[in-house]
Amino acid sequence: MTVRGGGGAGEDRVRLLSLVDVFEPLSREEIDKINWQNLNTRLEPGEVFYTPMDLCETLFVLQSGRVRIYRALPEGRELTLAVLESGTVFGEMALTGQRLRASYAQAMEESEISAMCRNDVERLVLDKPAVGLQLVHLLSERLAAYETRMEGLGLKEVPARLAGLILELVETQGIRDSAGYRIPTRYTHQQLGTMIGANREAVTRAFARLRETGAVEVRRRYVHVEDLEALKVAAAGTVPE
């Protein structure tokens, strides 16, 4: 982890922060005045920067890159709770209702983050209520997605869980092309497995089932959705394992 001050890169830092969802109501001047705990912390791919041993209340701001929030399970397995794209916030903070306790945060690619302590978040929300409203909306959407994912783990077979995850990825980052939709991020079967509570082999079999329905294709590790309606039917649980 490399921590850099805001000095010469101040303007670029403010530009990145202005793209963060919860800071949309703020002007660049207001963003620049925020008292950041750590400025421009650079993370290497695969670097774990938060563990269950970290008990401080911190709101992380993901300026660029991608971060995975996961929990360690017995027998060396992992369950990915969320994959966060640049331009959002996350963290362990009672004020915002967010919880990382018992979880790990890992950079999936080269990423850059800043951090805010509880006092600074409280001051910001009291001073700029619009930021607090943005936080409420963000966390409500995140909680709904999390509940849907957890419900699927207990009630659906692996093909349906995988189809539901792909639908979620289409909604959050899908790119429309001539054949349908493409997920612009490459995911291994192992990574997808940690997101739906399945092993790599089960994900491979589930992809085979989804390909048989004409819903998806995988080319160069990119997932292509070729029949969105068929994918929705599969996500409802009608494609057997």
Does the pLDDT value for residue 39 go beyond 80?
Answer: no
Contacts of 161 (CB under 8 A, 6+ apart): 152, 153, 196, 197, 198, 206
pLDDT (tens digit, 9 = 90+) per residue, 80-112?
988 898 898 888 666 666 667 688 999 999 999
Q: Is 27 among the domain residues?
A: yes
Q: Which of 92, 93, 102, 43 is nearest to 67 (CA)?
A: 43
Query: Which residue would you say has higher pLDDT here, 35 or 44?
Result: 44
pLDDT (tens digit, 9 = 90+) per residue, 183-204?
998 899 999 999 998 999 999 9
Do residues 146 and 168 share a domain? no
Do residues 141 and 173 share a domain? no
Q: Is 2 among the domain residues?
A: no
Q: Is 1 among the domain residues?
A: no
Do residues 200 and 217 share a domain? yes
Find out whether 113 and 60 touch, Cβ atoms under 8 Å.
yes
Residue 31 pLDDT grade (very low, low, confident, very high; cuts 50, 70, 90): confident
pLDDT (tens digit, 9 = 90+) per residue, 146-177?
777 777 777 789 999 999 999 989 988 899 98
Could you say which of 153, 170, 196 is where a domain stops?
153
Do residues 102 and 34 share a domain? yes
Mean pLDDT within 215-237: 92
Q: Which domain holds residue 166?
A: 156-236
Residue 41 and residue 232: Cα distance in Å, rounded?
A: 39
Mean pLDDT within 71-85: 88
Token pair, residue 192, equals 């997808």
Residue 177 and residue 46: Cα distance in Å, rounded?
A: 30
Residue 188 and residue 207: Cα distance in Å, rounded?
A: 12
Do residues 72 and 108 share a domain? yes
Pairing mode, strands 180-182 and 222-225: antiparallel
Mean pLDDT of the chain: 84
At residue 80's C-alpha, the angle toward residues 77 and 83, to 5°, is: 150
Do residues 110 and 24 share a domain? yes
Could you say which of 126, 153, 180 is where a domain stops?
153
Q: How far is CA 161 from the centre of its chain?
A: 17
pLDDT at 8: 37
pLDDT at 139: 80
Q: Which of helix, strand or coil describes residue 217?
A: strand
Q: Is 241 among the domain residues?
A: no
* pTM of structure: 0.77
Structural domain count of the chain? 2
Does the pLDDT value for residue 238 go beyond 60?
Answer: no
Tokens 């289409």 belong to: 170
pLDDT at 94: 62
Does the pLDDT value for residue 35 go beyond 70?
Answer: no
Q: How far is CA 39 from the centre of its chain?
A: 21
Residue 88 and residue 20: Cα distance in Å, rounded?
A: 5
